[in-house]
Structures are given as C-alpha cells and as structure tokens.
Structure 1
Amino acid sequence: MPSQASHSLLIDLPVEQVWSKLRDLTLAPHYVPDLTGCQLHAGPERGLGASRRVFQKNGQWLDETVSEWHEGEGFLIRLHRGDKGAPVPFREAWFRYAIASAGERTAFTASLSYRLRGGRLVEWLLAKAFAKAVKQIAENLKTFYESGQTQNRDFAG
C-alpha cells in the first residue's frame, strides 16, 4: 500500500471558480515551489490523458499525466520522467487535487501518494518532508487562487 501525505484547507471562493482554475494544467508554476515553467504535451489540454512537463529550477523536469479526471471535483496525476517511471527517490508517485463545495467556499485537499525506492525505512525518513511540501503547495494554491498573485518566486510568469 502506498504512503501518503495530504493537506486540506478552505479556499475563500465558490467551487465553480476554483474548478475553472484547477482544471487549467498550465497554472502549476504559480503555486508549486521550485517550478520555472510548464508545457503541455500534445493531446488533450484537460481530462483523462492530458499531460504536462514541468521544469524545475535545478534544471530537471518532470512529466505529470492525468490518470483520473472527475469533472468539477478534481483529478489524479501520475508523476514520471517520460517512459522511465517516477523520478528518484520514488518508485511510483501520484498527486491528487480534490475540491468540494463548502457553502460559499471550497474545501480543497492536496495529496501525494507514493512508493519509494529503498522501502519503508526511507519512506519513514522522508515522510515529514513530503508532508511539508504538500502543505506548502496547498497553501500556495489557496493564496494564488484568492489573490491572483504568483506564490512561487522561481517562476517569472
């Protein structure tokens, strides 16, 4: 069974407004730390099979492909490097974005599910770092959606 790190919060916008932003896969560099850009792959721009390549400040890149899509509710993306599978330290990794109406606001949950190379000991050692990263992504997304201001200093936008 994969390990998981997740963080939930409320966004001070109605769910329809949050979904209109969340479904735009090109917006990730505005709220994911260390990203410098994003490029959609050929094919669908949203929905099952949509895929993007995100560029990191360390010169690396990562592909993210939608493996589940729930219109108006969120999606699951698989993290990989082309056809080589997940990047080190991951054996497998997925990131879920989920939203639900909470009256005038939106309940948002970001989750990273993963299996690491090196087994359970390595997972235990890295669990706090992954939890911190997921929390930062969720908080940055909230602030970006509510303010329109990029929350990632590494993205020139």
Structure 2
Amino acid sequence: MDLILWRHAEAEDFASSDLARALTTRGRKQAQSVAKWLRARLPEDAVVLASPAVRTIQTAETLSDQYRVVRELAPNASTGDVLEAAGWPEGVAQTVVIVGHQPTLGAVAAHLLGDSQASWPLKKAGVWWIASRERDGEAQAVLRAAISPDLI
C-alpha cells in the first residue's frame, strides 16, 4: 500500500476552538499547490481520510470532494490511531491519504521509517509518501517522496 501523510496547510492562529481554526489565504494557496501535485500522481481510487478539524477538511477539499472525516485523526491522535485508520500495512485501499496534524504525522513517519519514538518535523502542507512492501519475508516501509509546498 501507499500511505501519504499530508499535514494541513497554514491555518489561522485563533478561533473559537482548535478544531474551528480555518486555513489562511496563504494556506489555501499551499493546499491547492500540493493538491495539484498529488492529483497528477494519485490513482483515481485513492482514499482520503481527514481529521475533523476545519483546517484539515479544507486542505482535503482542495484534493477531492470524496474524503472521509475520521474522528480518531483529530489533533494529538496516536501513531496507532493513524495506522489503524489507514489499515497499514495492507491498507483500507491501495493508496490512502491521511490529512492530519503535527506532531502525530511526524511520529508516524519516524515509526515507519526509523523505528523511532521521535516525531520528525513536517512543514505545513508538506507530504511524506511511504510505501509498504515485503522483502525477503520481512515487511518494510519505503519513502517514495517527501515534498513541501515551497518546492512545488
């Protein structure tokens, strides 16, 4: 499976609640740019899962109107919550896009790629594309791409 970890784009600092924080004008541009890059590479049957936060939903909507909001992906979700939602390593689909938050997404990447308890930094609107594979009878995670909006 391919697991794409996509951090929400830049959001306003304050709102009535953390979940209500919306994307800024810059954030909308970041999300649109990354969504265009992803659309050119994603299969049509990719599944998009988003946190219930407004900023992640707005980020996901730049990619597709076919996404599911998953409560377990809310801010401060655990690595296990993200991997369970995606069905890693077999996948709920061949390609799953998780639109979520730091430090959770960084912890997922560190766990899969470095067997670490750390949380690696991921810029706003940044993407890590990780593939699962089996090699010599052993499950592996392979980094296929890492991109930030300023490189697109």
Q: Aligning the two structures, in what range does the TM-score lie when normalised by the shorter sequence?
A: 0.3 to 0.5
Higher helix share: 2
Look at both structures and tell me which one has the larger radius of gyration over its CA atoms.
1
Give the structure-1-normalised TM-score: 0.32
Give the structure-2-normalised TM-score: 0.33
